[in-house]
Chains A and B, each alone.
Chain A
């Protein structure tokens, strides 16, 4: 998976969980939970949406890798 493909996948997953204008203004290094006001349930839904799209398991231990779009994209690319 290329970084661009990973980023697109993350943005699609976020679009599903927290649609809204803030998403368009999101920078790659923004803290997703803070910027999008995601609660624990939203975050779980995000992980599920991302896991489904990427076709791979994402464990709880991996959650710290999903802080920003940048770190999440790096995680998806290196986990192939």
Chain B
């Protein structure tokens, strides 16, 4: 059961969309899960064949419960740098002295965030590395060795020729020669053996922390009122945790939107309704682009250290009709054009309110943006969604008298606020970030 947010303890499998024996690819939607807040489509995080479905539809289980197994055939090599650390048992060519056993199923054991960052920087998949530290922990040296590229495998010339003829990857052959060198008979033995399937748990790649042990009440049909109550509880847990654990600091900056709104109005004049922009799209885009310059506001606080996000994935706070709140993510929001961002926003809001979000959308956000302008709010002093380290708020746009070129003018102004985790950044960084958002909104044509 994937953790679909810091406020989720358990979920109910409402429907399986695959059967044992089905081939699935990474990213395929394989099940529908009911959480306290929504109905979520759960994606597969690996490619292979569905083995066993371990949880019956209707069963409510805690986060972390294995829902199903996937058999992944032993491939010759897995591309390094995949974003998901998977216990696939496959990987880059291991050093000959310690070839990875073919049915390795242990997940990569990494304790240090520094090692994770190093692997990320070198584009090395941790699941492909065999740890040489105590209890198999992956060390900095292991990552550097993997990043340096594959080591030439010790093998006899005959073994190499035979492996090439039989299409056998030498990296998958356990050598029995001197110093672990692969001999011809090792290759023959491997080639005769049917490809071993490796069971893999379906678990998310979420930055969520280990799921707490919870008492799981039995499954029962959920009516709207009950879901409201459950959602309130889920929000309560996450927000209480945030205020308990995160030392927030708050900053605000009032931004003149004259040029931005004039530009948008002119832009929209040429377009059919479905392609028009709303001010929120400009604000989201500016918030996302500015984060490129301030990566320490974009990521997570985990295991006592800051872990940068793997992109700017904006969690957008969306209020639900009848109460409640969700913050699914727009992936790589800084890379999208304004039109693409607007399309993504419309789609996300529509699916959030109709209860058709995907699991990855609930776990990928690297920062949250909330816009309460439509509710007439002027200032947002946000509560950070853990384990994220910042939340950006926008209020309503109000016409205010202000000094313009030495004269008093009336301008549309919005107040942008930042709630940030003082463990990850200081007010100086937060202040410069808000200044950058303001600067970007003075040149809206460049946000396209």
Contact = CB atoms under 8 A, between A and B. Distances in A.
Interface of A: 18, 20, 37-41, 44-45, 47-48, 51, 57-60
B321 interface: yes
B280 interface: yes
A47 B264 CA distance: 17
A39 to B, nearest CB: 4
Given A20-B321, A47-B273, A51-B273, A41 B280 contact: yes
A49 to B, nearest CB: 9
Nearest to B276: A44
Interface of B: 265, 268-269, 272-274, 276, 278-280, 319, 321, 345-346, 349, 373-374
A70 B315 CA distance: 38
B279 A40 contact: yes
B273 A48 contact: yes
Nearest to A49: B273
17 contacts: A18-B321, A37-B321, A39-B319, A39-B374, A40-B278, A40-B280, A40-B373, A40-B374, A41-B278, A41-B280, A41-B345, A45-B346, A47-B273, A48-B274, A51-B273, A59-B269, A60-B276
Nearest to A58: B273
Contacts of B265: 60
A76 B77 CA distance: 64
A20 to B, nearest CB: 7
A48 B278 CA distance: 13
A23 to B, nearest CB: 12
A54 B276 CA distance: 18
Nearest to A38: B374
Contacts of B278: 40-41, 44
B273 A44 contact: yes
A50 B336 CA distance: 29
Contacts of A41: 278, 280, 345-346, 349
B68 to A, nearest CB: 36
Nearest to B273: A48
Nearest to A60: B268
A48 B271 CA distance: 12
Contacts of A18: 321
Contacts of A47: 273
A47 B274 CA distance: 9
Contacts of A48: 273-274
Given A40-B278, A57-B272, A60-B268, 17 more contacts: A37-B321, A38-B374, A40-B279, A40-B373, A41-B278, A41-B280, A41-B345, A41-B346, A44-B273, A44-B278, A44-B346, A45-B346, A47-B273, A48-B273, A58-B273, A60-B269, A60-B276
Contacts of A44: 273, 276, 278, 346
A39 B375 CA distance: 8
**Those 3 A-B pairs whose CB atoms lie nearest each other, nearest first:** A39-B374, A48-B273, A40-B278
B348 to A, nearest CB: 10
Contacts of A37: 321
Nearest to A37: B321
A51 B276 CA distance: 13
Contacts of B280: 40-41
A40 B269 CA distance: 17
B197 to A, nearest CB: 47
B70 to A, nearest CB: 38
Contacts of A38: 374
Q: Which residue, B280, B345, B374, has most C-beta atoms of chain A within 10 A?
A: B374
B285 to A, nearest CB: 15
A48 B272 CA distance: 9
Contacts of B269: 59-60
A24 to B, nearest CB: 15
A44 B276 CA distance: 8
A57 B269 CA distance: 11
Nearest to B319: A39
B339 to A, nearest CB: 14
Nearest to A52: B273
Nearest to B264: A60
Nearest to B353: A42
Contacts of B272: 57
A20 B374 CA distance: 20
A55 to B, nearest CB: 13
B77 to A, nearest CB: 45
Nearest to B279: A40
A20 B353 CA distance: 13
Nearest to B376: A34
